[in-house]
Structure 1
Amino acid sequence: MKKISLVTGANGHLGNNLVRELLKKGENVRAGVRNLKDKEPFEGLQCEVVYADLMDKDSLRKALEGVDTLYQVAAVFKHWAEDPEKEIIIPNIDGTENIIEAAREANVRKIVYVSSVAALSLDEVNSKGKIDETTWLKNSHGNAYFVSKKESEKKAWDLAKKYDLDMVSVLPGAMLGGEFLKKTPTMMGFDSILLGKMKINYITEMTPIDVTDVAKAMIVAAEKGKKGTRYILANEEPVTSDEIIEIAKKFVPKLEAPQKYTKEQLLNLADKLEAESKKTNTQPSLLRSQVELYYGGINRHYDITTSKKDLNFNPKLGAKALEEYFQRVYKSL
């Protein structure tokens, strides 16, 4: 009997592309979702689709029956909510605790836990001047998503050590592309640039990476990843906002670059927009935390030596991944 791999969040962008890569390798895949009516992501795929809600431990126990490898992908991915603690932070932390404990009960052989580069330090660097996997986020600037990624990964590691589980974590950068596109906040941000909808430029640089490179590295991590290790799955060098605009202009030559403002001007604007959002209970078009996290001065140069050595990780360059994504979006217009 072939081993079973469970992918949680299998109808999301990373989860679904991971399912596809596992199937290409002949794996026996169980796809965990909260909504069994969401069938489109699995059309033509020979996988078992099961109910798996991180907040429903019984569903996790059932989904994990007979599972050899758990790919814990599911998470809340948004940067704003009316109640960030209740809607973003607590679900990601409690969901992590539920799935790790359920995996222990099921005697799962290997856990590949998906975190994010958002869980890494923004300013601590090694001797190469780069951020490596030994660092942890210290200042989230009030961004609930960043807080949730750090705290939920730490929860996963606390439990893995407590129960002596064979677990690795992977920390992807800004994912795009792949066979299955389910728009994430990351992709919607890039889309807004290409479509000329981003009128205010608060991004200095980003680290786009093809989701297929991430999925393939996760599969290697399940077999060759060293217990207790964090693996950064991002490009070493970021793509600047000016480079992003130039790539977009290959498809939209007359694209007007977003207006540039000083950081102080952007922070003042974000404060006004956030104040208005509290009255309307709608997401503001700009968050103060986004300005702090993405506008200048933030190091996004990663040391991926460990991922290269253990996982043979050699991703497509960020500029190339972004160009291919823009080309795909442009063709769909």
Structure 2
Amino acid sequence: MNESVLVTGAAGFIGSHLVADLVKQGRPVRCLVRKTSNRKWLDGLEVEMVEADLADEAQVTKALENVGTVYHLAGAVAGTRQQLQHANVTCTRGLLQGCAKMPNPVRVVHVSSLAAAGPSTRQRPRRATDPCQPVSQYGHSKLAGEQVALEFADRLPITIVRPGAVFGPRDSEFARLFRLIRSLRCNVLLGSHDPPVGMVHVADLVKLLVEAEMQGTCLQSLAGPMNSYSVDDGVYFASDPKPLSFRELGLKVRGMLHRPHAWTIPLPVTAVRPFALMTQVVAQLKDQRIVFNLDKLREGAQDAWTCEVKREFAELNWRPRRSIDERFRETIQWYFDNHWL
């Protein structure tokens, strides 16, 4: 029997695209989902569904039966420190502990975030060999998840991928931005410095994830705290080589949104902070995960979020298959076709 590929976070934006690609390749796919997961993007795909809590050892062991590869995408992008710690660290440890107990080594591709590495400068993109300097609770939790992966590097073949800002069909975050441009005829920016951001289309990210599994290098065991990686340590970034600021993005897409004269309006960080604090308090009181909060405000106030992808080009033979302009045009058309705009 062919070994299955287990995808955690399979029902999510990135996970559902990855699952579809793996199915298209003819690989047997097992989707790890929660009871509350909305599985609409997985409907019609020939996959096996498994409900499991990654913090539950017995459930993880059962989910890993006859699995040869794991793509670990499950996690949280917002929440309290405790929620982020549980989703991005505790659950990662539970999964890798289960993988390490399997009779045969399980290949693991761990999807982290550029936030774990931290912001860059305008003059120089971040590299995998740079010391990690996260600025948000989310970034710290993702880095802690990478530290867990490093602890298992002597027992499991693990590769880490750090995507920048991911966009494409089914993504709700960029859809909210585009709705503002279309409905209010303005592109609202955080602050006046307008940092460049490394962005990647979900289809290009999926291609990089698969290439990382097939031919990426693996983490090497390292004693002591993790603050940097060498070029052979199995850490890859995922970003289009041409970063965009959100001002530039707004200017590019406003015509695609049929709002060619939409205004660009920068809001001072000090003016936005009370709103971010309010949404954070409401989220905590209602036990909800609202993406925009003080944590995201800290990320948005940085100088730049760019990363170098020369290693990805050389080692994984990876390139974005279409220009970023084409990708945003395709994404916006999908939003229109599916009544998201």
Shared fold per TM-score greater than 0.5 = yes
Find 1:156's aligned residue among 149, 156, 175: 149
Q: Does the CA-based 8 Å contact 1:233-1:304 persist in structure 2?
A: yes
Partner in structure 2 of residue 233 of structure 1? 238
Q: Secondary structure at the match of 2:159?
A: strand
Q: Does the CA-based 8 Å contact 1:273-1:284 persist in structure 2?
A: no
For 1:102 and 1:152, locate their aligned partners in 2 and report how far apart those are by CA, in whole Å: 15
Q: Does the CA-based 8 Å contact 1:277-1:284 persist in structure 2?
A: yes
For 1:115 and 1:252, locate their aligned partners in 2 and report how far apart those are by CA, in whole Å: 35
1:15-42 Cα offsets, whole Å, 9 max, x none, are 1111110111110111110127744222
- Quickly say closer, same or farther: Cα 1:308–1:17, change in 2 above 3 A: same
- Quickly say closer, same or farther: Cα 1:192–1:313, change in 2 above 3 A: farther
Q: Does the CA-based 8 Å contact 1:267-1:291 persist in structure 2?
A: no
Matched, 1:201 2:189: yes
Find 2:205's aligned residue among 193, 200, 214: 214
Say what the alpha-carbon RMSD is for the aligned residues: 2.8
Q: How many correspondences in the alignment?
A: 316
Find 1:325's aligned residue among 315, 320, 331: 331
1:70-115 Cα offsets, whole Å, 9 max, x none, are 111111122xx3xx12222233110110001111112343111110
- Quickly say closer, same or farther: Cα 1:37–1:13, change in 2 above 3 A: closer
Q: Does the CA-based 8 Å contact 1:7-1:72 persist in structure 2?
A: yes
Q: Does the CA-based 8 Å contact 1:96-1:152 persist in structure 2?
A: yes
Counting aligned pairs with the same residue, the percent is: 22
- TM-score norm. by structure 1 comes to 0.84
- Unpaired segments of 5 or more residues in structure 1? none
* Mean CA deviation greater in 58-67 or 187-196: 187-196
Note the 1:267-278 alignment, pairs <5 A.
267-271=270-274, 273-274=276-277, 278=281
For 1:247 and 1:326, locate their aligned partners in 2 and report how far apart those are by CA, in whole Å: 12
Q: Does the CA-based 8 Å contact 1:8-1:74 persist in structure 2?
A: yes
Report deviation, 1:159: 2.4
- Quickly say closer, same or farther: Cα 1:147–1:47, change in 2 above 3 A: same
- Unpaired segments of 5 or more residues in structure 2? 220-233
Find 2:314's aligned residue among 309, 312, 322: 309
For 2:51 and 2:282, locate their aligned partners in 1 and report how far apart those are by CA, in whole Å: 37
For 1:9 and 1:146, locate their aligned partners in 2 and report how far apart those are by CA, in whole Å: 18
Matched, 1:137 2:132: yes
For 1:197 and 1:120, locate their aligned partners in 2 and report how far apart those are by CA, in whole Å: 35
Q: Secondary structure at the match of 1:274?
A: helix
* Mean CA deviation greater in 61-70 or 29-38: 29-38
Q: Does the CA-based 8 Å contact 1:120-1:137 persist in structure 2?
A: yes
Give the letter for the 2:216 counterpart. Answer: G
For 2:272 and 2:60, locate their aligned partners in 1 and report how far apart those are by CA, in whole Å: 43
